[in-house]
Amino acid sequence: MLEIENLSVAYGGLTAVSDVSVTVGKGEFVAIVGPNGAGKTTLFKAISGVVPPRQGRILFEGKDLLAVPAFQRAHMGIAHVPEGRQVFPNMSVADNLSMGAYTEEGQRRHAEILDMILSLFPILAERGKQLAGTLSGGEQQMLAIGRGLASAPRLLMLDEPSMGLAPAVADIIFERIIDIRVKAGLSILLVEQRVAEALESCDRGYVLETGKVVLQGPHQTLLEDKRIRQAYLGM
């Protein structure tokens, strides 16, 4: 479904991503892990079209993404849940979700998808009229994920959903992501710093370090690989 081939991205004068190749198959859950500064967020930005790559290709369902302007990608079926939540702070929770449904597919199936979102994150129903900027970190993350789902995507990209959240809250978020995987049947591409959770839930994983893929494989293999610890802690 998603094929990234030999991608190199420079960001702010630095080579953030170097010759990276990643694939996500239909219905697959793929995790990309790696320490800070490894280039994970830059990779996502390149897929979303916010940062142009220097080299390489990105194909989504066979189409060349690089020829498509950034805002069109949502309409093609890619949902990006950004790092740091990035909700619309001065719009209500309900409006945030309806903005998520900006795509045609999202509009068509809005009622049905809204049901699913609210069953996953009931707190959003309670807070419907509240301004999104006043929600707690965890609630905002739920809203951001809900907003992503609302566009009825075929690929859901999640950028560090646990960042800045207390461990207990992050646990809940992870559980929900697994629920989504089960309920919505879409492909998921997850970028995370918290390796264990990410690798446990995914089908396949890639380990990124200073912009390069240093390890990849099915999740079980990766979980047992000592080199992950080396990548994170340097010894």
Partner 1 sequence: MFGRYSFLRETLPIIGFAAAYLLFSYWFDSSYYKLILTLVPIWATMGLAWNLLSGYSGLVSFGHASFFGLGAYTTTLLLVKFGLTPWIGIPVSMVVGGLSGALIGWPTFRLRGHYFALAMLAYPLALLYVFEWLGYQEVAIPYKRENGLAYMQFADQFGYVVTATLMMVAAMMLSRWIELSRFGLALLAIKQNEAAADAVGIDILRAKLKAIILSGAVAGAIGGLYAIVLLVVTPPSVFGMLTSAQALIVTLFGGVGTFWGPVIGSVILIPLSEVLHAELGHMLPGIQGVVFGFAIIGVIIAAPEGLFWGIRDRFMPVYSGRGREAGSSKVLEEASLHRTKPTADAPVILRVSNVSKNYGGLKAVQNVNFDVPKGAIFGIIGPNGAGKTTLFNLLNGFTPLSTGQILLDGQDITGLRPNEVCRLGVGRTFQIVRPFMRMSVLDNVIVGAISANENDDMARQQAMEAIEIVGLADSADRLANSLTNKELRLMELARALAGKPKLMLLDETLAGLGSGEVEDLLHVIRFIAARGVTIVIIEHTMQAMVRLADTFLVLDHGAVIGLGEPADVTKDPKVIEAYLGKKWANRA
Partner 2 sequence: MGELAIITENILQALAAGLLIGCIYGLMCAGLGVIFGVMRVINFAQGDFMMLGMYSAYYLATSLGLLAVLGPFFGPVAAAIITGPILFIIGIFVHRYLVTRVTGVQVAGLEGEGHFAQLILTLGVALVISNGALIFFGSEPLSIRTPLSRTAWEVGPLFGDAVSIFINKARFVGAAVSVLVAFGLYVFVTKFRFGKALRAAADNPQSATYVGVDVDHAHRIAFGLGVAITGIAGGLVASYYPFQPYVGIEFVIVMYAGVVLGGMGSIIGAFWGGLIIGLVQQMSTLILPTQLQNTAIFIVFLLVIFLKPQGLFGRNAERT
C-alpha dist (Å) from residue 231 to 18, 54, 187, 196, 207: 17, 26, 27, 14, 9
* Site stretch for partner 1 (CB under 8 A), options 58-66, 111-119, 159-167, 175-183: 159-167
Residue selected from 94, 99, 118, 163 as contacting partner 1 according to rule CB under 8 A: 163
How many residues line the site for partner 2 (CB under 8 A)? 29
- Confirm or reject binding of residue 130 to partner 1 (CB under 8 A): no
Exposed e or buried b for every residue in 4-15, given b needs 16+ CB within 10 A?
beebbbbbeeeb
From candidates 200, 218, 220, 221, binder to partner 1 by CB under 8 A: 200
The tally of CA atoms less than 13 A away on the side-chain side of residue 1 is 19
72 near partner 2 (CB under 8 A):
yes
Note whether 12 binds partner 2 by CB under 8 A.
Answer: no
| Of 66-74, 106-114, 196-204, 213-221: span binding partner 1 (CB under 8 A) | 196-204
Chain centroid to Cα 148, Å, comes to 9
Judged by the rule CB under 8 A, the positions of this chain that interact with partner 1 are: 12-16, 35-37, 137, 160, 163-164, 166-167, 193-198, 200, 210, 228-229, 232-235
